Structure 1
């Protein structure tokens, strides 16, 4: 009896007739995202009349629209710095204030950058916390990563049906092979879906000379 453990990599894309999303996810380390966040944080510091400036701590989420004049939607975390608000300094020149004394905050901003006119329109909201110990930290999901999905649904079975048909058609084996077990299934959200599926197949008693595809008559055989 021959058995194989197979890894299937599959892609499924949205139909071209579907309405595209207004925003698509961007890498938080993208220089264009940093430029947008920098503009938003500079505006926030400029609007502060008293106290200290804030410096960027981390970008938590970033989206953008397609096209030459993109709009960015970003969420970022800031920490109080040692630079006073009235000082004419860029936040990158400032040091973080001692964490036990520093205020922290989270900002949500929408930035429209027009490179041709060298203009930037920003709307944002920042929530500042004075007591760092009361901040509740959560683990954000990795939006572009593979995540485990159920192997029992039609989503996975439909993919494997076509994959095994393709294997039986193109393999050099004299007999047809049949699914035995699904080991693991993962899905990644992109402009559609990517799949990673690990599964096991075994040889059946149906030869390719007599059967073009699997039928209920095809049973897993114990022959080597």
Structure 2
């Protein structure tokens, strides 16, 4: 009996072990599936872009070539010069390096059709400056001596008139002093200042300030002159005045002359004759700020442009002063450049840059965000005036 009891016990124990052997893999698989479903996803691989110093010699060389190719690609507007490298990333690949460049630029006095190098063109005086930012994707293969601009976009904006007047209050003083002189010599009507359109200064026998400004008829009396200094920008101007103010140790010299637009002459008794009247045209307005440029005849058929240059108005040209104030704290020259939005990137066929039938492709990634730039960026500026440097 004892033998049979032990036998049946061993049989039952063996059967239980057999069942456990069958069930254990199933239990382990179930646990593994549950654990994997709840596990934290693996970290993404580190960025394959290398943050470079904005003042590195090779970076400055690449930035100069990129800006040169941007100017060559354009068919209208003025040559852009490099003020500073704001940000740069390098993506090293088997075929070479792809640079993602953010450049702070200044407009020069050379038209792009002159094909002059940007280093040979002088930038404008501060009161006539046009500044902005360009983003470019630039391919460099040093062994094959290949430099290729893949894409670019630029945004430009004229310098703030309000900023100029704040930084150089003498310009506003010269406009107001010369306009006061004109009003005193022409008592039949009173005119008030709309805006200063151009300003410059030089040393003669003392500091001399030269201004051009728009005027409008003022409803104010002479007793209210202090309240008529600056009219809203949507006021209709009736004329353009040029004035100067020269300060010597002994006295102040002020001169003024005004031209009135068509059908907007002064009342009888004014000193401006009909010969000075003309169409409503404002001399000195920068051609670079015009939105529409007539095509130049005789040009060869142009290739598809690799980018564009967007012209924004002066920040002061907002009709709502509250909006203008907000714009001063916003990004002044927003630029977007994305050949792809795929985080993994897209391939770009560059076989045409090489000799031979082999297919050659680059990986192009989404343009990096500025907030992640190197501690060595932005680089030093050629023109360090805050009015022409995007923050």
Please report the TM-score for the alignment, with normalisation by the length of structure 1: 0.50
Higher helix share: 2
The answer to which structure, 1 or 2, has the higher relative contact order (CA under 8 A, 6+ apart) is 1
| TM-score in terms of structure 2 length | 0.30
Query: Which of the two has higher C-alpha Rg?
Result: 2
